[in-house]
């Protein structure tokens, strides 16, 4: 069995499990990013979230981010798991783990991964408030693709 | 036949998870125009189109059997 | 029982446990740094490591780093655990967890913490190779205190 | 009496975890000089001195009952 380094899952994510996928003898530094459901966004109280994904493409795009990182930081090893479905406040939506021999790269590559996820991975978030609900990214003030297409390389 | 997948608010607006379009060969732009004229889907200004799980441009060709998807601005992470 | 946010321990560290100390409703971003024992440093093979600490002062200095982070990133919550004693290759020496409402701060504050640990926390590492052993930081080429004293504020 | 804690290679060189110095009141510099003259400890050029768990400077005072520690360059993390 090979370990899946890039996954979309429907059940709770274990930070330890994703981080362990990248721990190895050659790498002294591991950064793990955990994205959790925040209660307040710009003063508005979120009750819960629902994530939807175009799963097949989302996995492909996560793999692509992994390849982009390999090109920029050749010593990096990356694992990303994103959860979909309904999530409660402070539950984990995404875990990104990156190991590198030296720590500067582990931070930089990890931050690159979350920025790219927010640009190109087809996953959508619906916020559910007391007063209603809405798919995020649907708002006019958000124009994440100024070029008409998600950027395929780092801006 | 070309299958077009819908997600997020587009799925809710149209009330179905996908649309089938009868075409042998066409362009991304034609699919976009067809959907805008045939469905009450609002505007598709910020909506990208993916063909077989890759982002595509308006001029790109689409053939019967391809899987197309409308990708509104993503909000994962 | 209050949770200890800054600890020196002698047993294996759980990434999940330290990260969970900082997860909270107001914070959507959590970064975790995991420092593991690397097998090769500049081509030299390490068999194992031994960490020693001036424990009382080390905890105080970890707490100080926590306060420095609070001053720079007032919304951050920080937990740091460092292990001492003998560690094998790829075992975890240190875990730093930081949560913030927005992710940029979580990366920056976390990286600040590891840099500061390497400057001011009285913990020493002895590398054990096939051919011998040595306390690191003992080498002439390393002069971590150019001012004659560890920097008490960010450089 | 002033207790001086030793760590890492300094502990191994002197062969003990601490040194006791008979002084009522003195300076950090005096403690440093005393240890250099009384023990075969090598040089203390890059070694910091902490008094009661805080880094101290050469001119800082040390009193009987204070806990002093020699802090060689740290290498945690």
Domain ranges of chain D: 2-71
- pLDDT of C40 reads 83
- pLDDT of C3 reads 84
Q: What is the domain partition of chain C in residue ranges?
A: 6-38+54-123
Residues of chain C where predicted confidence (pLDDT) is lower than 50: 1, 139-148, 152-155
The CA distance from D11 to D42, in Å, is: 12
Tokens of D8: 């890492």
Average pLDDT value for chain A = 89
Helix, strand, coil percentages for chain C (3-state, nearest 5)? 25, 35, 35
Please report residues of C whose CB lies closer than 8 A to that of A32: 15, 19, 31-34
What 3-state DSSP class applies to B44? coil
CATH architecture of the domain with range C6-38+54-123:
Alpha-Beta Complex (3.90)
Going through B1-77 in order, the beta strands assigned E by DSSP cover 2-5, 18-21, 25-27, 48-51, 54-56, 61-63, 67-71
Tokens of A29: 């530094």
Q: What is the mean pLDDT of residues A94-107?
A: 97
- pLDDT of C138 reads 55
pLDDT of A144 > 80? The answer is no
**Interchain contact B46–A (C-beta under 8 A):** yes
Q: ipTM exceeding 0.95?
A: no
Please report residues of C whose CB lies closer than 8 A to that of A30: 33-36
- pLDDT of C150 reads 54
List, for residues A35-78, the tens digit of each pLDDT value: 999 888 778 899 999 999 999 999 999 999 999 999 999 999 99
| Conformational region of residue A93, where left means phi above 0, alpha means psi within -120 to 50, and beta covers everything else | alpha
Question: What share of chain A has pLDDT > 70, as a percent?
Answer: 87
pLDDT of A111 > 80? The answer is yes
- pLDDT of A94 reads 98
Residues 67-106 of A with CB under 8 A from B: 82, 93-94
* CATH no. of B2-71: 3.10.20.30
Element (H, E) at C105: helix C103-120
**Interchain contact B17–A (C-beta under 8 A):** no
Residues 52-71 of D with CB under 8 A from C: 53-55, 57, 69, 71
**Interchain contact C33–A (C-beta under 8 A):** yes
Fold of the domain spanning A6-135: Aldehyde Oxidoreductase; domain 3 (3.90.1170)
Do residues C88 and C69 make contact, with C-beta atoms less than 8 angstroms apart? no
pLDDT of D26 > 50? The answer is yes
Chain B nearest C-alpha distance from A47 (Å): 17
- pLDDT of A44 reads 85
- pLDDT of A40 reads 83
- pLDDT of A65 reads 98
- pLDDT of A145 reads 42
**Interchain contact A36–C (C-beta under 8 A):** yes
């Amino acid at each position: 069995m090979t370990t899946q380094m890039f996954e979309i899952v429907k059940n709770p994510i274990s930070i330890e499990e994703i981080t362990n996928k990248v721990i190895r003898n050659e790498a002294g530094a591991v950064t793990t990013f955990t994205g959790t459901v925040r209660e307040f966004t710009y003063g508005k109280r979120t009750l819960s979230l629902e994530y939807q994904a175009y799963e097949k493409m989302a996995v492909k795009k996560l793999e692509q981010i992994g390849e982009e990182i390999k090109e920029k930081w050749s010593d990096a090893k990356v694992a990303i798991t994103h959860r979909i479905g309904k999530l409660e406040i402070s539950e984990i939506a995404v875990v990104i783990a990156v190991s590198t021999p030296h720590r500067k790269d582990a931070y930089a590559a990890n931050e690159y991964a979350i920025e790219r996820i927010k640009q190109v991975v087809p996953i959508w978030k619906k916020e559910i408030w007391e007063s209603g609900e809405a798919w995020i990214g649907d708002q006019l003030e958000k124009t994440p693709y100024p070029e008409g297409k998600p950027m395929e390389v780092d801006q | 036949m070309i299958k077009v997948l819908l997600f997020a608010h587009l799925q809710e607006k149209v009330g179905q998870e996908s649309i089938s379009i009868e075409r042998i060969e066409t362009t991304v732009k034609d699919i976009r125009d067809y959907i805008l004229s045939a469905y009450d889907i609002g505007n598709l200004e910020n909506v990208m189109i993916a063909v077989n799980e890759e982002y595509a441009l308006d001029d790109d060709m689409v053939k019967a059997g391809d899987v197309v998807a409308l990708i509104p601005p993503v909000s994962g992470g």
